[in-house]
């Protein structure tokens, strides 16, 4: 597991591929304004 990010800390930049093949970058979202990251258990997983 990676180190936890402290509350209020700047998020590291990242890029992810969506299920439709589109790539999303945090830097692109921030260029348009604020961004909110929400993590939740994936579909069909316990928890």
pLDDT digits 0-9 by tens, 7-18 = 888 888 999 898
Instruction: For residue 4, give the 3-state DSSP assignment.
Output: coil
Number of domains in the chain: 1
Are the CB atoms for 12 and 27 separated by under 8 Å? no
Structural domain contains residue 2: no
Cα separation, 47 vs 40, in Å, equals: 9
What's the pTM value of the predicted model, to 2 decimals? 0.59
Are the CB atoms for 13 and 25 separated by under 8 Å? yes
Structural domain contains residue 33: yes
pLDDT in tens, 1-47: 467 778 888 888 999 898 899 999 999 999 999 888 776 666 666 65
Instruction: For residue 30, give the 3-state DSSP assignment.
Output: helix
Structural domain contains residue 35: yes
Q: Which two tokens stand for residue 11?
A: 């998020």
Are the CB atoms for 23 and 15 separated by under 8 Å? yes
């Amino acid at each position: 597991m990676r180190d936890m990010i402290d509350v209020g800390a700047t998020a590291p930049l990242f890029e992810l591929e969506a299920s439709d093949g589109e790539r999303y970058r945090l830097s692109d979202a921030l260029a348009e304004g604020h961004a909110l990251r929400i993590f939740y258990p994936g579909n069909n997983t316990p928890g």
